[in-house]
């Protein structure tokens, strides 16, 4: 059985927000909720990087661990889903999640938040696959239709990939090798600079 994963290639993401829009449209996500978002670091300066983030479908999911009604479950493919009929809107999953994935349609006084909503990896919920109820609560069940998450499928630069972790790892490894920077990005050169650089640099004038 495949272990489903997302990966976002920071070298490729161009902050087009296509994934955000596609997700919102495909699942008719409630107003005020974005299951996916793009965050840009060092916006507008050299070295700017963007990445798309949503539920990461953790193996040891914090949301699942803290939910007081135990409404989360993990599918055979490692997708973390939840049951909106059980959800009491306490917000604990929102406190626990490092990625800010769980969101609520409201942020009302007296803790009236409504039912939690988050990325389902386009895998719906506990209702019957592709049923009307499932769509209303969780959005489209693309996995049941044999399709991968729409956000990754529409990504124009294929920065965002979603699918079997083994396949994604192979694709990403290939990319790193093709970029030709795989070996000297990390390790020795991160600590000491480029292998060919030290000889040409004047003593004491090394780049920071």
Partner 1 sequence: MNADMTLLRRVMLLMCALCALGAAPVHAQSAESQAQAARQQSQPLNNAPVWREVRSGDSHYTTVKGVETGVLIQSGGQTWRALRNGPVMLYGGIVFCAMLVLLALFYKLRGPIRLSGVKTGRLIERFNTLERTAHWSMAISFCVLALSGLVMLFGKHVLLPVFGYSLFATVAVICKNVHNFVGPLFILSVLVFIVLFIKDNVWQSIDALWIRKAGGLLSGEHVPSHRFNFGEKTWFWLGVVGLSLLVGASGLVLNFPNFEQGRFIMQSANIVHLVGALIVMTLSLAHIYIGSIGMEGALDGMKSGYVDETWAKEHHELWYDEAVNAQPAERQAGALPAAARI
Residues contributing to the site for partner 1 (CB under 8 A): 10-11, 17, 20, 32, 34, 37-47, 49, 51, 53, 62, 65-71, 83, 85-91, 94-100, 103-104, 107-113, 179, 181, 184-186, 189-190, 193-194, 197, 207-208
Residue nearer to partner 1 on the CB measure, 147 or 206? 206
Polymer length of the chain = 208
Q: How far is the CB of 156 from partner 1 (least distance, A)?
A: 17
Residue nearer to partner 1 on the CB measure, 113 or 140? 113
How buried is 41 (Cβ within 10 angstroms: 0-12 exposed, 13-18 middle, 19+ buried)?
exposed
Q: Which residues pair with 74 in a beta bridge?
A: 80
Residue nearer to partner 1 on the CB measure, 2 or 10? 10
Q: How far is the CB of 142 from partner 1 (least distance, A)?
A: 22
Task: Give the span between the Cα atoms of 139 and 124, in whole angstroms.
Answer: 6
Q: How far is the CB of 133 from partner 1 (least distance, A)?
A: 16
Q: Which residues pair with 103 in a beta bridge?
A: 117
Q: Which residues pair with 161 in a beta bridge?
A: 7
User: What angle is formed at CA 55 by the lines to CA 50 and CA 59, rounded to 5 degrees?
Assistant: 120
Residue nearer to partner 1 on the CB measure, 31 or 76? 31
Task: Give the span between the Cα atoms of 9 and 46, in whole angstroms.
Answer: 18
Q: How far is the CB of 189 from partner 1 (least distance, A)?
A: 6
Residue nearer to partner 1 on the CB measure, 41 or 167? 41
Q: Which residues pair with 41 in a beta bridge?
A: 49
């Amino acid at each position: 059985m495949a272990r489903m994963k997302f990966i976002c290639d920071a070298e490729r993401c161009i902050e087009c927000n296509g994934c955000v829009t596609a997700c919102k449209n495909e699942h008719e996500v409630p107003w005020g909720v974005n299951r996916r978002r793009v965050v840009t670091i060092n916006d507008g300066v050299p070295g700017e990087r963007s990445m798309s983030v949503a539920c990461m479908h953790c193996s040891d999911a914090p949301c699942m661990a803290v939910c007081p009604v135990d409404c989360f479950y993990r599918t055979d493919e490692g997708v973390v889903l939840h049951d909106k009929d059980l959800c009491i809107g306490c917000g604990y999953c929102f406190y626990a999640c490092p990625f800010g994935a769980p969101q609520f349609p409201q942020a009302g006084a007296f803790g009236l938040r409504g039912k939690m909503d988050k990325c389902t990896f386009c895998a719906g919920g506990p209702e019957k696959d592709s049923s009307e109820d499932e769509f209303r609560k969780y959005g489209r069940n693309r996995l049941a239709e044999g399709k991968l998450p729409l956000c990754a499928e529409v990504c124009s630069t294929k920065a965002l990939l979603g699918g079997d972790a083994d396949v994604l790892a192979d694709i990403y490894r290939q990319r790193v090798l093709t970029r030709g920077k795989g070996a000297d990005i990390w390790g020795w050169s991160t600590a000491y600079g480029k292998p060919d650089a030290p000889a040409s640099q004047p003593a004491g004038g090394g780049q920071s």
